[in-house]
Amino acid sequence: MINNHGVSLTEKPQINLGLEGVYFMESKICKVDGKAGKLYYYGYDIGELAAASNFEEISYLLLYGELPTTKQMKDFSSALAEERNLDDRVINLIKGVPQETNPMHTLSAAMDLIGAYDKSAENTSDNESTSIRIISKIASVVAAIGSIRSSGKYTNPDPKLGHTANFLYMLNGEPKPKEVVKLADTMFLLHAEHSSNASTFSGIVTISTLSDIYSAVVSAINTLKGSLHGGADEAALKMIMSGVGKDPDKYIDGIISSGNRIMGFGHRVYKTYDPRAVIIKEQLKAAIRNTDDRVKKIADTAFMIEEAAIKRTGQKGIWPNVDFFSGPVYSYIGIEPELFTPVFALSRAPGWCSHIVEYLKNNRLIRPTVYYTGETGRPYKEINGR
């Protein structure tokens, strides 16, 4: 017997655990070439973008599909700057959560609250404007979470600064040097988009029910939190720090023989070196030339662990991913480990919005099928007789 989607109801269907290898839509946004270790945003190679572009420009590219003209770029940057302010209700929410709250929970709650008050988001013919608001405000929320956790203070945004410079200013309460801003901006650009990864897919599932963009982004935030996805950079840094002063080969052997995974290694699509990790490693090497002993020690340990791990896992196609060197770079920038995943979220916001808006243009409710292996027709017994 065949159902109306051509699926046999009598034979066991092919089950793709983790939806591995399942295509669910066409998209022009991003190509991840896992064999060649290449990544393209709307056709532009990530290496070229990292060297020549910036986070604001690629946010425009991801939302509109083309690089902006000078005028379009100026208007887009102004629109981002105009949306940075946070309502007192959002600031109070961030101040009100217990100190030990996972910042990803706070981020999710704050973005949900912003969505609750944003009536203009109901105008789905202007999803790009809502996306700009989300990209702008999520950075302010992450900065507010970081600064309120560390100093109890909220710093108002500075409209004269660019997106990344303003984020670091709000986070630290003072401006950061140009080269640190540039490094953070490149990190944001490298994390901005990665096709149908778990968080993006979760955002798409939410929007497919005709929920709203904020709810879809909140789903994506909550999905990013896990250590197999966005949480891996914090886990990778912890692993690197526990390896300081140890023999790297023995340290890696110990991790693998105890059945654990090397955090920041391996990827569902890349079976070679993740191109983003190549760039981040180079950025880290350049940064530590003029850094203090603490970050240099972490970075040097990361390089040694990387080499030891590749010897063990490279042949199996398990190589460093975007998260392996991100932690040491964020440590250099002065971002606390607990904020790594929220920073990943603010960086991925353009990618999430881009996919959510693209999916809506040709929406179909996402509703896959499970192959039922349980019983049917079990007789119900009253509770006293069980």
Residues within the interface to ligand COA (CB under 6 A): 18, 228, 232, 261-268, 313, 316, 318, 321-323
Beta carbon of residue 164, minimum distance to ligand COA (angstroms, whole number): 22
Q: Which of 185, 233, 274, 323 is catalytic?
A: 323
Does residue 229 carry a catalytic annotation? yes
Could you tell me if residue 195 is left (phi over 0), alpha (psi between -120 and 50 degrees) or otherwise beta? left
Query: Which residue in the shown chain puts its C-beta closest to ligand COA?
Result: 266
Decide if 323 is catalytic: yes
Residue number, 268 or 297, with CB nearest to ligand COA: 268
* Type of residue at 259: G
Name the residue nearer to ligand COA (CB basis): 68 or 320: 320
Of 263, 380, 267, which Cα lies nearest the Cα of 252? 263
Distances (CA, A) of 317 to 260, 267, 279: 17, 9, 19
> How far, in Å, CA of 386 to CA of 384, rounded?
6
Q: List Cβ neighbours of 356 (8 Å cut-off, separation of 6 or more).
A: 127, 131, 203, 204, 207, 213, 216, 217
Active site residue 267: yes
The token pair that represents 215 in the structure block: 């709810």
- The edge-to-edge listing of strands for the beta sheet with 38-41 is 30-33, 38-41, 44-45
Catalytic residue selected from 194, 267, 274, 355: 267
Give the shortest CB-84-to-ligand COA separation in angstroms: 29
The least distance separating ligand COA from the CB of residue 375, rounded to whole angstroms, comes to 30
Distance in Å, CB of 91 to ligand COA, minimum = 32
- Smallest gap from residue 322 Cβ to ligand COA (A): 6
Burial (Cβ within 10 Å: 0-12, 13-18, ≥19) of residue 12 = exposed
Residue (137 or 276) nearer to ligand COA, CB? 276
Tokens found for residue 289: 């030339």
Cα–chain center distance at 272: 20
Amino acid code (one letter) for 318: I
- Which one, 115 or 320, has the nearer CB to ligand COA? 320
Instruction: Choose between 154 and 201: whose C-beta lies nearer to ligand COA.
Output: 201
Q: What is the closest distance, in whole angstroms, from the C-beta atom of residue 365 to ligand COA in the complex?
A: 27
In the bound state with ligand COA, the residue whose beta carbon lies nearer, of 68 and 342, is: 342
The active-site residue, picked from 158, 229, 249, 300, is 229
Q: Decide: 285 and 330 in contact? Cβ < 8 Å.
A: no
Residue 249: CA atoms inside 13 Å, Cβ hemisphere, count?
A: 1
For the annotated catalytic residues, the residue numbers are 229, 267, 323
